[in-house]
Structure 1
Amino acid sequence: MSRWFWAFLGYSLVCGLIRIPADNLENIVTPTDDETAIGLWVFSQAYDIIVATPLSMGLSWVFLKAARYEPFTLSDIFGAFSRNYLNAIGAGLLKAILILVGLLLLIVPGLYLLIKLAFVEYLIVDRKMGMIEAMKESWHMTEGREGTLLALMAMSVLIFIGGMLLCIVGVIPAIIWLSCAYAVLYHTYCLVDQPKEPEPRPDSGNPFSM
């Protein structure tokens, strides 16, 4: 983060501006009637699915390339659009639905799915996997590592709260730091698992097995 902080900050701000219709449309346009309000909500949700979600995956790819000390440019934030667009949309939507349903089921299943599907975004853009294949692989990659990811998730909450307490401005470096942390963790697990790739891994308990 310290090496490329200003690049990360600039890229994140660009993504934030492009995401505005998905995140803050209600603050920009005031609906005059219920029909307009519904139309704005539908547009916002559609924009989130077809633009904001792939864009976020592209930003994750930038952090991953930095973790590997590979060169990256601003155009990489659009990597999901050129590399694996349809699967980026499908994976983002399916993951969101699964986690939402899991959270509604007494929260714990949702948190578990959040951990097990933590690397889907990277797999979609980095390895150009299909959405089911990416979920299956993320499930494999997190096997036996749930405790580490849970600890990172808990740490993320504390760091984010700390950023909020620092006059809110601290949220920006907090988000960048956490994005770096997840990218480094994914890259580390890829390196650790590399020698095991030729060996088939059991699909026991993996709901995404085909």
Structure 2
Amino acid sequence: MAEKRFGMGEAIRFGWETMKENIWFFIPLLIIAFLIKSVPGAIAEYAGSEFPVISTVLWLSGLLLGYVVDMGLVKISLQFCDGVKGKFDDLLSSFDILIPFIVASILYGLIIFGGFLLLVVPSIIWGIQFSLYPYFIVEKKLGPIEALKASSRATMGAKWDLFLFGLLLGLINFAGMLVFLVGLFATIPTSMVAYAYVYRRLTGEPEPTGLTYEV
């Protein structure tokens, strides 16, 4: 039997308490992240065929900014785990590792696709096995291949727990959607920090503690 290396309950509790203590940081953070990721694409859609060059540039800009925002959210989640104050500036602070992140994301997508071609189950296993690559790129500045390998090592012996944890987070966010979507302002930060907590535990880092924020 695989050794259990993190507690799902403690991860969720940590994420929940962090969210409650910093809710007025997370709400505008999520709104800003959503706008950065969606506005360029919306404008590109509006420009449409009348301004194809502008539309293409905006679409690509939105795509790249989406990657940067995703890395920023990972960085902020890790900061809260480390007791470091979250800052809005960190949302767009990862341009220097954009290329490795994009390459790793493409490789990860290809791995998942390859798993689907092998009757789905390998896709789930590999999806879990390599799921921590964003954290290794954001925190350790690893290259794409190194980050995927590091994720594989970190998740060894914990895949079943991670699978159940992913289902639990999915149910939590589904519950947030049922509350007129407003609940997502609570469940998304909870999930973000909880998963960063799990990363910390699986990589042998000290147990996360205390949290504050600044605007």
| Equivalent residues of 1:54, 1:89 under 8 A apart | no
Q: Which amino acid aligns with 1:151?
A: L
Candidates 81, 98, 103, aligned match of 1:67: 81
My pick for the range that moved more, 175-184 or 159-168, is 159-168
Range 73-82 or range 154-163, more displaced: 73-82
What is the distance in 2 between the residues matched to 1:15 and 1:164? 18
Which residue of structure 1 lines up, in the alignment, with residue 99 of structure 2?
86
| 2:9 equivalent in structure 1 | none
CA-CA distance at 1:180 after TM superposition: 1.1
Shift of 1:190: 2.3
Count of residue correspondences: 188
1:192 deviates by: 5.5
| Of 134-143 and 116-125, the range deviating more from structure 2 | 116-125
Q: 1:25 aligns with which of 10, 34, 42?
A: 42
Match of 2:173 among 160, 163, 171: 160
Which residue in the other structure is 1:55 paired with?
A: 69
Q: With the length of structure 2 as denominator, give the TM-score of the two structures.
A: 0.75
The match for 1:142 among 145, 155, 162 is 155
Q: Tell me if structure 1 keeps the 8 A contact 2:133–2:147.
A: yes
Runs of 4+ residues over 6 Å off in structure 1: none
Q: How do residues 1-210 of structure 1 correspond to structure 2 at under 5 angstroms?
A: 1-21=19-39, 25=42, 29=46, 31=48, 44=59, 46-47=60-61, 49-82=63-96, 84-191=97-204
Q: Alpha-carbon deviation of 1:63?
A: 0.6
Aligned-residue offset at 1:69: 0.6
**In structure 2, the residue corresponding to 1:114 is in which secondary structure?**
helix
Any idea what the Cα deviations from partners look like across 1:101-131, whole Å, max 9, x if unmatched? Answer: 4345433222222211221111101000001
Q: Within 1, Cα distance between the matches of 2:190 and 2:66?
A: 21
> CA RMSD of the aligned region, Å?
2.8
Percent of aligned pairs sharing the same letter: 26
Q: Which runs of 5+ in 2 are unaligned?
A: 1-18, 207-215
- Name stretches of at least 5 consecutive residues in structure 1 with no aligned partner: 194-210
Deviations 1:35-71 (A, max 9, x none): 95x9957963x34542211220111110111011123
